[in-house]
């Protein structure tokens, strides 16, 4: 009797499962049919080929099924944000990123100047976020951060779990607020640094007259005012009868190409400075109008010299207007644009690459110095600068 009752219960359960399976399949079928009809019209309107139409069907069918069948309610906006972010991540480009509304607002605050930071320049390479340089008199310097430090986490969020550009966004924030960085330093245990954000004001170019009439200009980055700052530095050095110029681009992450071109027009001989080449072959050429170089030049570069720094160094090297001393540069030779979207969000996307006057691509390769000099962190003297001075003395003596 009990066995018969048990058998009947099993039959009932099987019928229920079959019914549920038919229901789920029915839901999927309706979703797929709805998506197919919608996309068929869209494909016709946009003149999409078969493969692109199928891909769109896969995307919308997946989205529709998650919305209707996922165990918890779904935020449609977050679902779409995740899909767009996933597309950008699949490019494998650390400089391309989807900016959700929160991140886009931070970027806008940064460009308008109403943001707080800690005064460090970061590099994104080998799937790591590394401190390239620490600005003088900033919270980062006061906290004890050093070039070469790896940023393992920001406010408890591991850097490896988010995009490199997002790490930089999270470090920026309202002036007076704190950010906690977990730092990995070679030979030491990981350590948390609590740093208060402040307004960052930076003079990007500064000069010094060295012995034997050797002028020295350090360029920290390329901002809107860097061209004028460099011109002022150059004028003061020339007023002291400068015989040769050392340009220090070590730890310079780059910046505005317009400022780089402005400076190049003061030191690079007449002719090409850089070409910006898009995917379709469209080229934007930047040329120098300088008739003749006034004095010999030596340029200092290292593994943290990137982007606009590499453009200037590459142009001076290719035109044989300068000797490069130091170590191989970073290798960031790509151009990004920020494209606003419909929902207060945006897309930061790499759209072009830089090429030096001789046609070299900087991206992923970097620039080799003419005179290689490694920098020992424990050294008491700046051996790279000392070598640059020796090279300059030889040039002046010729």
Instruction: Give the pLDDT of residue 123.
Output: 77
The tokens of 326 are what? 């130091």
pLDDT of residue 7: 46
pLDDT band at 13 (very low <50, low <70, confident <90, very high): very low
- pLDDT number for residue 181: 96
Asked whether 308 and 264 are in contact (CB, 8 A), the reply is: no
Q: Report CA Rg, the chain.
A: 28
Predicted local distance difference test score (pLDDT) of residue 10: 46
pLDDT of amino acid 35:
54
Distances (CA, A) of 172 to 154, 179, 226, 345: 11, 8, 22, 18
Phi, psi for 258 (deg, rounded to 5): -65, -40
| Rounded percentage of the chain residues whose pLDDT exceeds 90 | 53
Mean per-residue pLDDT of the chain: 85
The per-residue pLDDT for range 128-144, each reduced to its tens digit, is 888 877 888 889 999 99
Quick check: 313 and 301 in contact, CB under 8 A? yes
User: Integer distance in angstroms from the first to the last C-alpha of the chain?
Assistant: 113
Return d(Cα 42, Cα 103) in angstroms, integer: 31
40, 54 contact by CB (below 8 A): no
What does the alpha-carbon distance between residue 372 and residue 327 come to, in Å, rounded to a whole number? 6
The answer to whether residue 318 is catalytic is yes
Cβ distance 137 to 171 under 8 Å?
A: no
Q: Which of 96, 307, 309, 334 is catalytic?
A: 307
Q: Which residues pair with 352 in a beta bridge?
A: 278, 335
**Distance separating alpha carbons of residues 269 and 251, to the nearest angstrom:** 25
What's the pLDDT score for residue 370? 98
Q: Model confidence at 182, in pLDDT bands (50, 70, 90)?
A: very high
128 is catalytic: no
Confidence of residue 47 (pLDDT cuts 50, 70, 90): low
Active-site entry in 149, 302, 318, 345 = 318
Report how far apart, in Å, the C-alpha atoms of 182 and of each of 26, 149, 152, 158, 177 are.
51, 10, 5, 9, 17
Catalytic member of 332, 334, 345, 348: 332
- The pLDDT score that the predictor gives to residue 114 is 47
Whether residue 83 is predicted with pLDDT greater than 60 in this model: the reply is yes
Strands (DSSP E) contained in the chain are: 97-99, 120-125, 128-134, 150-154, 157-158, 178-184, 191-196, 205-210, 214-219, 244-248, 271-278, 283-288, 297-301, 322-326, 334-340, 346-355, 371-372
Quick check: is 307 catalytic? yes
């Amino acid at each position: 009797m009990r066995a018969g009752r048990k058998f009947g219960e099993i039959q009932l359960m099987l019928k229920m499962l079959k019914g549920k399976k038919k229901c789920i399949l029915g839901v999927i079928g309706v979703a797929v049919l709805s998506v197919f009809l919608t996309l068929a019209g869209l494909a016709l309107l946009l003149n999409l080929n078969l493969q692109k139409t199928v891909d769109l069907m896969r995307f919308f069918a997946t989205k529709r099924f998650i919305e209707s069948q996922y165990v918890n309610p779904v935020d449609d906006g977050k679902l779409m944000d995740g899909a767009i972010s996933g597309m950008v991540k699949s490019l494998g480009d650390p400089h391309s990123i989807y900016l959700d509304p929160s991140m886009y607002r931070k970027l806008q605050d940064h460009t308008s100047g109403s943001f707080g930071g800690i005064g460090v320049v970061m590099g994104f390479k080998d799937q790591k976020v590394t401190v390239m340089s620490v600005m003088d008199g900033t919270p980062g310097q006061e906290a004890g951060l050093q070039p070469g430090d790896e940023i393992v986490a920001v406010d408890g969020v591991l850097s490896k779990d988010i995009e490199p550009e997002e790490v930089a966004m999270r470090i920026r924030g309202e002036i007076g607020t704190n950010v906690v960085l977990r730092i990995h330093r070679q030979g030491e245990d990981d350590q948390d640094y609590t740093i208060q954000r402040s307004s960052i004001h930076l003079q990007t170019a500064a000069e010094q007259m060295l012995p034997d009439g050797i002028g020295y200009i350090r360029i920290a980055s390329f901002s809107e005012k860097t061209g004028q700052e460099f011109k002022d530095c150059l004028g003061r050095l020339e007023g002291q009868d400068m015989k040769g110029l050392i340009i220090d681009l070590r730890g310079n992450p780059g910046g505005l190409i317009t400022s780089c071109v402005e400076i190049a027009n003061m030191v690079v001989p007449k002719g090409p400075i850089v070409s910006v080449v898009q995917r379709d072959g469209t080229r934007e050429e930047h040329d120098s109008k300088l008739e003749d170089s006034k004095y010999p030049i030596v340029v200092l570069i290292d593994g943290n010299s990137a982007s606009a720094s590499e453009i200037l160094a590459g142009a001076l090297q290719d035109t044989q207007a300068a000797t490069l001393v130091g170590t191989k540069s970073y290798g960031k030779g790509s151009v990004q644009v920020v494209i606003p979207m419909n929902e207060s969000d945006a897309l930061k996307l790499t759209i072009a690459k830089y090429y030096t006057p001789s046609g070299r691509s900087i991206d992923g390769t970097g620039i080799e110095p003419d005179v290689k000099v490694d920098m020992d962190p424990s050294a008491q003297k700046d051996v790279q600068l000392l070598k640059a001075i020796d090279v300059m003395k030889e040039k002046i003596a010729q």
